[in-house]
Homo-oligomer: A and B are copies of this chain.
Amino acid sequence: MRIYPECIPCFFRQGLVTASKATDDREKLIEVMLLIAERLPELVKLPTPTHAGKFIHSIPRRMWGIYDPYKQDKERFIKMMLDMYPRIKVWVGDNLQRALKVAASGNAIDFATLGEDRIMAELQDIGEREFKRMEYDRFVEELKNSKMLLYLADNAGETVFDKLLIEVLKLHYPQIEILYAVRGYPTINDAVYEDAIASGIDEVAKIIDSGCEAPGIILEDCNEGFRKIFYSSDIIISKGQGNFEALSEVKAPIYFLLQIKCDPVARYMGMEVGSLLFFRTSNG
């Protein structure tokens, strides 16, 4: 998905929110804003908003050596989701559609687009919500003939609900090998290796490192091992907006599982902000 004009104020907002996790010094925060402004002529030429996000969310690391500004937020959300996990597991049972809904709703945990109050409100009513687009039958059909499934993680915290979905998938399709890909470097609150471990993903899938530093899978940035897996997987589940923005025009058997969180994605999809979606890309 290309960069829309509305993405630009959001680049500055995201840059500020992320930098504010590392410092509250006015001059330093203004310096970050000026750096994004200076780089803006290059950023707007990038192919997707995710490419710009890679630069924006790396600023605290590049400027101040702060490796993972969202570390505490991520730990807190993983803990909260682990506390909710047993109750939600009972509700899901072996129901794959419910597991998909839980995993999509967990996608609300996104500091780039929503505040913490909104995130908790979204999570409260998981059971009530319906998919606005849901290609379940085709998914089940493809699962039957799949041997390798690649699961592209998004935010830390929803990782706990990813685990639940993977458990239900394994129950119904024990023949499928499931690989769970995390970011290579911290970016926003996206899951890295240790977040996946803290969420218990290692109990249900093999965790792999995409090598990607962006808040979405930019294939040309990923390591060779990841790319091989990407192109040889029978089916790919891609979580969240960042992965969608980066992969929406890639040719591969991708099912996107996400919640729409901003106007540009809503417009691109012809849907409303807040919609839960599970659909297969028309490419590949």
- Tell me the A residues contacting B by CB distance below 8 Å: 4-6, 8-10, 12-13, 16, 20, 26, 29-30, 32-34, 36-38, 40-41, 44
Contacts and interface: CB of A to CB of B under 8 A. Distances in A.
9 contacts: A5-B29, A5-B32, A8-B33, A9-B10, A12-B12, A33-B40, A34-B40, A34-B44, A37-B38
Contact of A16 (B5, B20, B26, B40): B5
Given A8-B12, A37-B38, A37-B40, 4 more contacts: A6-B16, A9-B13, A9-B33, A33-B40
A267 to B, nearest CB: 11
Contacts of A8: 12, 16, 30, 33
A256 B156 CA distance: 45
Contact of A5 (B6, B9, B30): B30
**A contact face: mostly helix, strand, loop, or mixed:** helix
Contacts of A6: 16
B44 A33 contact: yes
A14 to B, nearest CB: 9
A32 B44 CA distance: 12
B5 A33 contact: yes
A44 B27 CA distance: 10
A9 B36 CA distance: 11
A5 B26 contact: yes
A44 B28 CA distance: 13
A1 to B, nearest CB: 13
A102 to B, nearest CB: 31
Contacts of A36: 37
Contacts of A4: 26
Contacts of A13: 9, 13
Residue of A16, A29, A38, A40 with most chain B CB atoms under a 10 A cut-off: A40
A34 B3 CA distance: 14
Nearest to A2: B26
Contacts of A12: 8-9, 12
A214 B29 CA distance: 25
Given A9-B9, A37-B37, A38-B37, A44 B30 contact: yes
Contacts of A29: 5
Nearest to A43: B37
Contacts of A38: 37
A27 B20 CA distance: 31
What are the 10 A-B residue pairs with the smallest beta carbon separation, nearest first?
A5-B29, A37-B37, A9-B12, A9-B13, A37-B40, A8-B33, A9-B9, A30-B44, A12-B12, A5-B30
